[in-house]
């Protein structure tokens, strides 16, 4: 009995002759893509010479899979067949295919994944992840954050491929988002237009393959804090305050540019706070500026309190990810309206947040919890009974640092939790006091990012990380700077944040290491 071929699904090309640039031959493009690192090919067209396609694939020892047409697959003795949900039933296909052929299936929900596992398919294509022009979509886009629940529903023996609108620009976002709490990741990506539509298919394939390999080659590719420094042991209070104090001084020396898309209620206060910390604010919202600003800023804050400038927010986060800059997201009043929840979901799918900062009701809304209610921008009640678990689990889910502000502030990177107990009772009574914490976090995360880049070559295309530096430290520093300054201001009205020195941080920081 022939054995099924052991297929590498890392870079799975789906052909699309109609997408070829003018003057580019289908077979030439295919061969160039194979030279660039394509590891498997699915033939989707009905009009190409499948035999010649197979001959080219065989030349590079790359398996060929036929879309939908079992008769064609059997005729050329292909390596497998891929079916959609509305194609031939899996049970019939398995009876028609020899044991040597793999069988793939498209899935877009946990329910479909469960059925695929029961049917015993060899691999699944999960999607559509992004909007795509290469195929008319009949199902909703699931986004990178929708992949993990599907992965959880699949048998461990089934290989997985992300499909739908995947491009070089969104590949790292896709891979970082498509990870389960248990650490399962995608086995590969399926690409159509990014390669087929390119006038340089070999280079396009090389770039995608290199970026995918860089992600999988990281020491801890499945951890939620992959882009950041992973400590070998938990830091002590003395370690934390020492690093925070040092960061305050370094920020004033470096004067990082902090790009802030924030609500107009908080704009002036946020700019002034940023200046007081020694950084330089730029409050730009025009979509056409986002690519250039992402190259020069230290960090990015996106605060959608007044829910405007959506296109600018979308592009700013995407370009920040591409340029490995920290993205701090403040989802103001996200639980108050369906529009805010929908907008937050779109933004978090479009780019990977580095830090999510919110009050208890906002964090609860993102986590899908109802224990803490909201009234506009405010939380109602005493907060969560187990805040450490809330921030830790949301950090794992969103694969970022989570900061939950309140009487006590809770911060997690998905592995450890830090509790900060500073602040003044008058602070919540100041307009935009929560928003300025986001500005402070973005400022110090920007400094951390700049320091991490020192001594390194410019971030290369093959670097699978999303941001450089220990962002947990930046988040802690931002919260402590504002809360401790408020304590000092409450005691001595002549002292302002701009006069804050490292000594009060060292003396006053109230930190409890939870785990």
Phi/psi of residue 301, nearest 5 degrees: -115, 130
Indicate whether 4 belongs to any domain. Answer: no
Q: What is the pLDDT of residues 209-240, one digit of tens each?
A: 999 998 887 765 555 444 434 444 667 888 89
**Do 354 and 383 sit in the same domain of this protein?**
yes
Q: CA 251 to CA 204: how far, in whole Å? A: 39
Q: Using DSSP, state whether 272 is helix, strand or coil.
A: helix
Q: Is residue 347 part of a domain?
A: yes
Peptide bond into 128 cis (omega under 30): yes
* Residue 206 and residue 260 in one domain: no
Same domain, yes or no: 299 and 428: yes
Domain end among 216, 246, 271: 216
Choose the final residue of a domain: 161, 182, 216: 216
Host domain of residue 29: 11-216
Q: What is the pLDDT of residues 179-190, one digit of tens each?
A: 887 888 999 999
Shared-domain flag, residues 181 and 250: no
Residue 6 is assigned to a structural domain of this protein = no
Examine the domain organization and report whether 336 and 461 are in the same domain: yes
Q: Distances from the Cα of 327 to the Cαs of 322, 354, 473, in angstroms?
A: 11, 5, 14
Q: Is residue 226 part of a domain?
A: no
Q: Which of 147, 181, 216 is the last residue of a domain?
A: 216
The pTM for the full model equals: 0.88
Examine residue 171 and state whether it is found in any structural domain, yes or no. yes
- pLDDT reported for residue 481: 96
At residue 455, the pLDDT reads: 64
The three state secondary structure string of 24-67 is CCHHHHHHHHHHCCCCEEEECCCCCCHHHHHHHHHHCCCCEEEE
Closest CA to 442 of 312, 305, 303, 331: 303
Residues of the chain with pLDDT under 50: 1, 224-232, 459-462
Examine the residue annotation and report whether 435 is marked as an active-site residue of this protein.
yes
Whole-number pLDDT of residue 179:
87
Q: What is the 3-state secondary structure (H, E, C) of 352-380?
A: CCCEEEEEHHHHHHHHCCCCCEEECCEEE
Among residues 57, 297, 400, 435, which one is catalytic?
435
Same domain, 272 and 204: no
The SS3 call for residue 13 is strand
* 419 shares its domain with 449: yes
Same domain, 257 and 399: yes
Number of domains in the chain: 2
What does the pLDDT read at residue 457? 58
Co-location of 269 and 376 in the same domain: yes
Give the pLDDT confidence score for residue 462 in this predicted structure.
Answer: 47
Domain of residue 386, CATH code: 3.40.1190.20
Determine the length of the chain: 515
CATH at 57: 3.20.20.70
- % of residues, the chain, pLDDT over 90: 69
Q: Is 425 exposed, middle or buried (0-12, 13-18, 19+ CB in 10 A)?
A: exposed
> pLDDT value at position 513?
84
DSSP secondary structure code for residue 160 in this structure: E
pLDDT score recorded for residue 183: 81
| pLDDT for 293 | 97
Looking at the structure, do residues 164 and 54 belong to the same domain, yes or no? Answer: yes
Q: Are residues 102 and 193 in the same domain?
A: yes
Residue 228 is assigned to a structural domain of this protein: no
- Residue 116 located in a structural domain: yes
Token readout for 394 is: 């949301």
Q: How buried is residue 503: exposed, middle or buried, by Cβ count under 10 Å (0-12/13-18/19+)?
A: exposed
CA atoms within 13 A on the CB side of 233: 3
Domain identity same for 319 and 255:
yes
Distance CA 309, CA 274 (A): 21
Most distant pair of Cα atoms in the chain: their distance: 85
Residue 418 lies in a domain: yes
């Amino acid at each position: 009995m022939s054995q099924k071929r052991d297929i590498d699904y890392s870079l799975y090309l789906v052909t699309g002759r109609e997408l070829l640039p003018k003057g580019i031959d289908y077979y030439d493009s295919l061969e160039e893509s194979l030279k660039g690192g394509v590891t498997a090919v699915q033939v989707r067209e009905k009009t190409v010479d499948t035999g010649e396609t197979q001959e080219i694939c065989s030349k590079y020892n790359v398996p060929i899979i036929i879309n939908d047409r079992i008769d064609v697959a059997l005729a050329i003795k292909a390596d497998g067949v891929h079916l959609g949900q509305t194609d031939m039933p899996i049970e019939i296909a398995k009876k028609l295919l020899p044991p040597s052929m793999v069988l793939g299936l498209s899935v877009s929900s946990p329910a479909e994944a469960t059925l695929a596992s029961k049917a015993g398919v060899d691999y699944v294509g999960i999607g559509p992840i992004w909007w795509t022009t290469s195929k008319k979509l009949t199902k909703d886009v699931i986004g990178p954050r929708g992949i993990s629940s599907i992965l959880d529903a699949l048998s461990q023996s089934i290989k997985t491929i992300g499909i739908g609108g995947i491009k070089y620009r969104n590949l790292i976002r896709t891979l970082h988002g498509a990870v389960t709490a248990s650490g399962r990741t995608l086995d590969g990506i399926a690409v159509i237009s990014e390669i087929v539509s390119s006038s340089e298919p070999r280079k396009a394939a090389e770039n995608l393959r290199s970026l995918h390999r860089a992600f999988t080659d990281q020491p801890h590719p499945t951890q939620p804090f992959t882009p950041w420094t992973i400590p070998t042991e938990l830091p002590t209070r003395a370690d934390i305050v020492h690093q925070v104090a040092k960061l305050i001084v370094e920020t004033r020396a470096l004067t990082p540019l902090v790009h802030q898309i924030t609500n107009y209620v908080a704009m002036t206060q946020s700019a002034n706070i940023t200046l007081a910390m020694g950084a330089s604010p730029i409050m730009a919202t025009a979509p056409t500026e986002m690519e250039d600003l992402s190259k020069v800023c230290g960090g990015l804050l996106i605060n959608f309190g007044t829910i405007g400038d959506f296109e600018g927010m979308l592009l700013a986060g995407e370009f920040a990810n591409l340029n490995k800059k920290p993205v701090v997201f403040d989802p103001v009043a996200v639980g108050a309206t369906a529009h805010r929840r929908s907008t937050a979901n779109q933004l978090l799918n479009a780019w990977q947040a580095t830090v999510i900062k919110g009050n208890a009701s906002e964090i609860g809304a993102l986590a899908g919890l109802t224990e803490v209610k909201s009234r506009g921008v405010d939380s109602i009640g005493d907060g969560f009974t187990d805040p450490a678990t809330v921030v830790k689990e949301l950090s794992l889910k969103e694969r970022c640092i989570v900061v939950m502000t309140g009487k006590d502030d809770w911060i997690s990177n998905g592995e450890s939790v830090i509790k900060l107990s500073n602040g003044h009772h008058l602070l919540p009574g100041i307009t935009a006091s929560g928003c300025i914490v986001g500005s402070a976090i973005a400022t110090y995360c920007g400094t951390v990012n700049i320091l991490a880049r020192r001594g390194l070559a410019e971030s290369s295309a093959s670097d699978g990380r999303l941001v450089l530096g220990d962002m947990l430290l930046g988040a802690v520093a931002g919260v402590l700077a504002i809360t401790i300054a408020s304590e000092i201001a409450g005691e001595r009205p002549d002292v302002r944040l701009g006069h804050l020195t490292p000594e009060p941080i060292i003396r006053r920081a109230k930190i409890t290491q939870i785990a």
